[in-house]
Structure 1
Amino acid sequence: MKSVWYVTRKFPPSRGGMQQLSHHIAAELAALRPLTLVRWWAGQWGLPLFVAWALLRLCWGLLRRQVRVVLIGDPVLSVLAVPARWAGVPVAAVVHGLDVTYPSPLYQWYLRRFFWRRLDAYLCISRFVRDQLLGQGIAAAQCAVIVPGVSAPADMPARAREPGLRLLILGRLVRRKGALWFVQQVMPRLSAWNADVRLDIVGDGPERAAIEQAIAQAQLGDKVRLWGDVDETRKAQRLHECDLVLMPNRRVDGDPEGFGLVALEAAMSRRYVLAADLEGLRDAVGHADIGALLPPQDADAWFAAIVALLADPRRLRERGEAARAYVATHCSWRAMGLRYAERLDELV
C-alpha cells in the first residue's frame, strides 16, 4: 500500500518546538492517512548518518512503489527530494523560518541547489515564513500557511502558591528570545515598582551565563529564578503558577522567530501573553483574546503594559480564561493535521 512518507530530523525524546510539532504532524497524519514515519531523535549528533540512512530507505520505498507523497520535516532534508522527483513522486516541506534564513554561505548554496523552486509545496508555520519564500520567488500557489496546534495541559495538583506576582519567560536562552534584554532593561523597573514581582525563566542556552551576570549586577537574585531546561510536567507547573507569560523577542538578523508555540501553550493554561510585535509572533498572538503585541525592545511600553495587567488581577484572570476558550476552539492539533492531509492530497 502506498503511504505518505514523513521524514523528520527533529523528534522526541529530544525537546523543542520543532520536535513537538513533528510529533503531532506524525500523530495526526497517521490517524488520517497511511503513514510511514522516518525519524531522528538524537539532536545534531549523527545527523549525516541519518540523512544517508533516510535516503537509502526512501529509495527502497520508491523502488517498491510504496511512496504516495513525501513530506520532509524542514529544508535541511531537501536533498531527499532528488530521488522522489526522479520517480515522479511529489515532495512537500515544512518550513519553520530559521531553516531558510540561516546565513551560512554553504547552507544557502545547499538551499539553492536542493530547495528553492525544487519542491512541489512549501507548508509554512506562519505568514512571516511564507513571506520569506515569496521573497525568494516561490509561487504563492505553492505556499500554504498551516499554523501549529496546541494540547490541553496536564491537570496540576492543588498546592500553595509562592507569594508574589509571577512573570514567566519560556524558551531557549538565545539572543532573539530577549530574556537577557528583559532582565537588564525592564525587570529592575518592575522590582522598584513592586517588590513582590518575581520572574521565572525556563529554558537553557548560550545566553544563560550572561543572564546570570545581569541578575547579579542588578541585585535581582531574589527576584529572578533560572529553572533551566525542564520536562513537560514541570513546564506545565510553571505555566500554572505564573500570572502572565512574556515573549520579549528582539530582531536578530538571520535568526527569526518562525511562530511562537509558547503563546498557544500559555493560552491553553489560561494565561495571557505579552509578545514582541515581530515575525511569526504576529501569527502566534494573532487574536486579541490570546494576548497583546508590544514594540520590540521598548522598555517603557513593556513596563507600562505589565504594570497595567498586574494591577488588576481579576481582569487578568478573565483574559486568561478568554485565551483558553479561543485556542481550544481554533487551534487544535487535529485541525492542523486535516490541513496537512488535504494539502498533501492535492499534490497527488
Structure 2
Amino acid sequence: MLPSEIEILFVSHKYPPAVGGMEKQSFELINHSALYLKVHTLLYDNEESILTFFFRLNQRILSKIKANPRIKLIHFNDGLIAALASFHRGYDHLKKVVTLHGLDIVFPLPYFQHKIIPRFNVFDQVIAVSQATAEAARSRGIDPSRIAVIPNGVDPVTPISKLKDDKLPPYFITLGRPVKRKGFSWLMQQVIPAIQGNFRLLMVGPFDQSPTWKERILNLLPAKLHHLATLFLGYPTDQQEMRKLLRMHPEKIQHLGKVPFDQLRHLLTNAHAFLMPNIQVQGDMEGFGLVCLEASSRGTVVVAAELEGITSAITHDHNGLLLPSQDANAWIGQLQNILDNPDHYEKLGQKFQKNTNSDFSWDIMARSYCHTFVKLCQKATANSEKINYTTD
C-alpha cells in the first residue's frame, strides 16, 4: 500500500478558533499532514455544545468513513476524546491512534485511572508528546509496545536582532495560564525579590486582576473536589496567590495579561530570558513545554525547571538552561548571572535558537506522525493478505 492510497481521519475537540497549546498542535498536525497524506477531519468548532459534539461523534465517524471508504486510520488528538471513542462501535476494522499530552494520562480521578486508562490499550498506537508522558502511560499499564514518542514542533523564525527599548529596563518574561504547576507564585516569592539590580519580571497570559464568581464558587468546594474540578477545567489555581505577590512587589513584577501577538513576539525577542519555573503538582504535569521552544526560536535564552515533559523540549546547554525545580539558590544565581552578563547570554541565545530551529519544526512532527500512520496501515494490509493467502 502506497502512502497516496492511505487516507486519515483526524478527530479533535481542541482546535482553533479556541486558543492553547493543544489547539496549536492539532492545527499544525492536520495541516502539515495534509501535505503528505489525504486528510479528513471531524473538528469541534464551537458551533454546538461540546456535549453534543461528543454525543454525536460515533455516528459522525461512521458517516464520514462510509462517505470516504479509503480511510484506513483514525487519529484522536487527546486522551479525553479517545477515552470516549474507546466505547464506540462500528469501525473496529480501522486502525486507531491517540496522542497523549500529559494531564490526559495523570488526571487523578480514581475511576479514570482504574477504568478508563486501561482502555487505551484498544488503540493500535499511543503517541506521547514527551518521554515523561510516555513514562506516565507505561506506569499506568499501557502496553509499552504501543507507545511512541513524537515531540511537538515550533514555528520557524528568521533570526532578527534584539531591539533596545529605553522605556523598559532589562526584563525576564513568563508566559502561560496561572496554574499551580507553572510555578509562577513560587518564582515571584522565592526568587525575584532576591535578585539585585534594575530589572522587571513581565508576566503574560490570561489573568483576572480580581476574583471572579467562578473562583468564589470553586473555593467553596472541599479541597479534594476543588483539586479535581480545577484540573479538569484548567482553572487558574495560582491567581489568588499571585495577586498578593503582585501587590507586594509592584516595582519588580508586572502582569500584562493577554497581549496582541505582535507585542508578545516583540517581548519574547527582547527579553533577557524566558522563564519556566515549573513545580510538581500531584495529578498534573507539564506534558511538553511548547512555550519554551517558542521563546528559544526567537533567540531568547530559556531558563526552565528540569521537570517532566520540559526535558523533551529543552536540552541543557543545547537549546536552553535547565535548573532543579524549586531550588531557589540555583535560580537566583542563574538569573543574577544573566543580568550581570547580558552580552554573553545574548550570544548564547543565538546559539540555542539555531539548535531549536534545527531540531524542532511542525513539519518534522507531522512527517513522524505520517510515517507512523503509513507503517500501521501497511502492516495491517500485509497481515490481511497473509490471512487471505493462508485461507485460500
- Is 1:215 matched with 2:246? yes
Q: Which residue of 2 aligns with 1:49?
A: 52
Query: CA shift at 1:234, angstroms?
Result: 2.8
Q: Which moved more, 1:292-301 or 1:98-107?
A: 98-107
Q: Retained in 1: the 8 A contact 2:6–2:374?
A: no
Structural RMSD (CA): 2.2
Per-residue displacement from partner, 1:228-276 (whole Å, max 9, x unpaired)?
A: 1334333212202311011000000111110101111111110111111
Q: Which residue of 2 aligns with 1:299?
A: 328
**Residue aligning to 2:186:** 181
Structure 2 distance, partners of 1:160, 1:222, is: 18
Provide Cα deviations, 1:287-316, integer angstroms capped at 9, x if missing partner.
522111111111111000111122111111
Matches of 1:97 and 1:24, distance apart in 2: 19
* 2:101 counterpart residue number: 96
- The verdict on how the C-alpha distance between 1:166 and 1:214 changes in structure 2, with shifts beyond 3 A counting, is same
The DSSP-based 3-state class of the residue aligned with 2:245 is helix
Following the alignment from structure 1 to structure 2, what is the Cα–Cα distance between the partners of residues 331 and 47? 32
User: For residues 179 and 272 of structure 1, do their structure 2 counterparts lie closer, same or farther at Cα, with a shift above 3 Å needed?
Assistant: same
Q: CA deviation at 1:326?
A: 0.6
Hey, what does 1:107 align to over in structure 2? 112
Q: Partner of 2:228 in structure 1?
A: none
Q: What TM-score does the superposition give when structure 1 sets the normalisation length?
A: 0.91
Q: Secondary structure of the equivalent of 2:34?
A: helix
Match of 1:197 in 2: 199
**For the structure 1 residues 243 and 112, does the alpha-carbon distance in structure 2 shift closer, same or farther, using more than 3 Å as the test?**
closer
SS in 2 for 1:31: coil
Deviations 1:5-58 (A, max 9, x none): 111111112111111111110111111100012112449x82221112332210
> What is the identity, as a one-letter code, of the residue corresponding to 1:25?
L
Q: 1:329 to 1:96 in 2, by over 3 A?
A: same
Distance in 2, matches of 1:319 and 1:299, equals 23
Which consecutive residues of structure 1, in runs of 5 or more, have no partner in the other structure? none
Range moving further from structure 2, 292-301 or 60-69: 60-69
Secondary structure of 2:287's partner?
coil
**The structure with more radius of gyration:** 2
Q: What corresponds to 1:332 in structure 2?
A: 361
* TM-score, scaled to structure 2: 0.81
Q: Find 2:318's aligned residue among 289, 314, 320.
A: 289
Distance in 2 separating the partners of 1:335 and 1:236: 23
CA contact (8 A) 2:117 2:142 kept: no
Do the aligned residues in 1 keep the contact of 2:118 with 2:142 (CA within 8 Å)?
no
Q: Which runs of 5+ in 2 are unaligned?
A: 207-235, 378-392
> What amino acid does structure 1 have at the position aligned with 2:92?
A
Residue 271 of structure 2 corresponds to: 242
| 1:347 and 2:350 correspond | no
| Aligned residues with identical type, % of pairs | 26
- Deviation string 1:105-162 (CA, Å, 9 cap, x unpaired) is 34335524642x1111011100001111111232332111110110035889967343
2:138 matched residue in structure 1: 134
CA distance in 2, matches of 1:66, 1:231: 42
Distance in 2 between residues matched to 1:175 and 1:24, nearest whole Å: 28
- Alignment length (residue pairs): 341
> Is the CA contact 1:4–1:35 (under 8 Å) kept in the aligned structure 2?
yes
Distance 1:42 1:229, change over 3 A: farther
Whether the aligned pair in 1 keeps the contact of 2:303 and 2:321 (CA below 8 Å) is: yes
Whether the aligned pair in 2 keeps the contact of 1:152 and 1:269 (CA below 8 Å) is no
Q: Residues 70 and 156 (structure 1 numbering): CA distance in 2 closer, same or farther, change over 3 Å?
A: farther
